[in-house]
Structure 1
Amino acid sequence: MSALPFEAYPLRPASYAATLGRTVIVIPHPDDEALGCGGLLALLRQAGQPVAAVQVSDGTMSHPHSVDFSPVARRELRYAELRHALAVLNVDEHNVLYLGLPDSEVPSEGSAFDKAAARLADFITEQQADTVLVPWRRDPHPDHRATSRLTAAALASLPQPPRRLEYVVWAWERAAPADLPQPHEGQGFRLDIGPVLAQKQRAIAAHRSQLAPGVITDDSSGFLLSEHMLAHFAQPTEVFIEAPSPISA
């Protein structure tokens, strides 16, 4: 898809990050944090703002047919890569809530959804979050959409929910016109991450299993990020949509 809808958003300076306060990022898969808002996370930490993370899925389905790496080994590999990436961004890699939901099957309703939403709400409260970062609600990957619904349910349960910023990952590549943000759905903007772009690139590189040639080599059907996809995240800006409050689940 064309990047023009996002490129038309107004540009905010890197100093804007400091206004977001204590922040929790909700991550569908390990690597989404670096791709979608690694620059913002680095800027938050530069400004002295605390950042905590919630890892939603177990990340095991990027190479589902590997024999050398069992599902447990794949999960631990991807969690280790997440911690490495967070450390690169100066985020406390130990302050992570792992929901452990199944990769490619993050629920959008039901008892598992309700339990995860309650855990997420408790974590956001414990962190005294001023801002929550979550994937754009119609980001094309189903786990991203489910993560958005999960976060919306968690925030709706709080008496004073924090502000919500939605970040873009797969909408750069796969969004249909109906998936794109509409004016009534929030205020879109681009954030200048030029001062920390190299740091963001190092955080992306920490996810070695997702980058060619990869570290899981016995699954020819396994997922690797394409160079074309990665080019979107080598730019000196990141895209966010500030959702109106409240937002329905």
Structure 2
Amino acid sequence: MRPAAFAASLGTTVVVVPHPDDEALGCGGLLALLRQAGLPVAAVLVSDGTMSHPNSRLFSPEARRAVRETEFRHALTLLGIDEAEPLLLHLPDSRVPGSPAEPGFTAAASQLREFLQQHAAATVLVPWRRDPHPDHRATSQLVAAALAEMPYPPRRLEYVVWAWERAASDDVPTGADQVQGFRVNIEAAVAQKQRAIAAHRSQVAPGVFTDDAAGFLLSEEMLAHFAVPYEVFFEAVAP
């Protein structure tokens, strides 16, 4: 278990998230610790977040996007991240491009690279490369493409969201991945993290988009994984 003071070693940090709420769930504690240590933090939201409740008639796609972006900004403020304007890529939720062959991938990777350079990021936080959601894997690929074009890329730490619930045997790290897993003690930031999760009201019962009975809500079982005093990260190690 790495202590809370570990955050101070990361320097200026950019967090890249596929959907609004992933920042709070996957690494909200570390983000709060970074700000407690006085380090600059900026955020990138990859998708437009509209597909959690695609059948809502009361909320158009544009309205759903506006709700979720507002929740995202509120959560960032609760974590202490309100100085830098986030980068909103507005890629299609559930269809984030994951390879250069897909429309929008190259442009998004270029925007990411420019944002990382603009903020002189020393560390980038990104979903675990095989987190079992297609947008999370695509986000990992976008970041990898952005870093590949940087002469001095930032340190890359990978956080976990859906692997807690959905991981198959080939989703978890293996020796071939050459990554080191570790926990970070976030006890001093648990309350902030929980407030940031709760800020995503549309994703937590009773929700906001109440006219889509089949829409997504975070289950109590899922939320329990993020109510613990630590967060898990993976980092590539030299072969």
In the superposition, the TM-score normalised over structure 1's length comes to 0.93
1:134 matched to 2:109? The reply is no
* Aligned residue among 130, 141, 146 for 1:149: 141
Q: How does 1:83-94 map to 2 (within 5 A)?
A: 83-92=73-82, 94=84
For 1:14 and 1:242, the matched residues in 2 are separated by 17
1:234 matched to 2:234? The reply is no
Q: How does 1:19-98 map to 2 (within 5 A)?
A: 19-92=9-82, 94-98=84-88
For 1:161 and 1:200, the matched residues in 2 are separated by 28
Q: How does 1:206-245 map to 2 (within 5 A)?
A: 206-244=199-237
The answer to whether the 8 A contact 1:86-1:93 is kept is: no
The answer to whether the 8 A contact 1:22-1:49 is kept is: yes
For 2:194 and 2:204, the matched residues in 1 are separated by 12
Q: 1:93 to 1:62 in 2, by over 3 A?
A: farther
User: Per-residue deviation at 1:245?
Assistant: 6.8
| Secondary structure at 1:12 match in 2 | coil
Q: 1:133 to 1:154 in 2, by over 3 A?
A: same
Using the aligned pairs only, state the percent identity: 69
Which residue of structure 2 lines up, in the alignment, with residue 3 of structure 1? none
- Aligned amino acid, residue 144 of structure 1: H
The answer to whether the 8 A contact 2:97-2:103 is kept is: no
The answer to whether the 8 A contact 2:178-2:238 is kept is: no
For 2:128 and 2:228, the matched residues in 1 are separated by 19
| Secondary structure at 2:33 match in 1 | helix
Q: 1:245 to 1:52 in 2, by over 3 A?
A: farther
For 2:196 and 2:76, the matched residues in 1 are separated by 7
Which residue of structure 1 lines up, in the alignment, with residue 164 of structure 2? 172
| Secondary structure at 1:143 match in 2 | helix
Which deviations, in whole Å up to 9, do the C-alpha atoms of 1:201-232 show, x marking residues without a partner? Answer: 00000000000010111000100000000000
For 2:83 and 2:35, the matched residues in 1 are separated by 13
- Aligned amino acid, residue 199 of structure 2: A
User: Per-residue deviation at 1:185?
Assistant: 2.7
| Secondary structure at 1:164 match in 2 | strand
User: Per-residue deviation at 1:93?
Assistant: 6.2
1:190 matched to 2:180? The reply is no
The answer to whether the 8 A contact 1:58-1:100 is kept is: yes
Q: Paired residues, what number?
A: 236
Q: 1:142 to 1:93 in 2, by over 3 A?
A: farther
- Aligned amino acid, residue 72 of structure 2: L
Is there any run of 5+ residues in structure 2 with no aligned partner, and where?
Answer: none
For 1:221 and 1:186, the matched residues in 2 are separated by 37
The answer to whether the 8 A contact 1:136-1:241 is kept is: yes
Is there any run of 5+ residues in structure 1 with no aligned partner, and where?
Answer: 1-10
Which residue of structure 1 lines up, in the alignment, with residue 193 of structure 2? 200
User: Per-residue deviation at 1:186?
Assistant: 1.1
In the superposition, the TM-score normalised over structure 2's length comes to 0.97
- Aligned amino acid, residue 36 of structure 1: G
For 2:228 and 2:166, the matched residues in 1 are separated by 18
For 1:243 and 1:48, the matched residues in 2 are separated by 26
**Stretch of structure 1 that moved more, 177-186 or 156-165:** 177-186
Which residue of structure 2 lines up, in the alignment, with residue 181 of structure 1? 173
Ranges of 4+ aligned residues in structure 1 off by more than 4 Å: none
Which deviations, in whole Å up to 9, do the C-alpha atoms of 1:86-116 show, x marking residues without a partner? Answer: 0000002652000000000001123410010
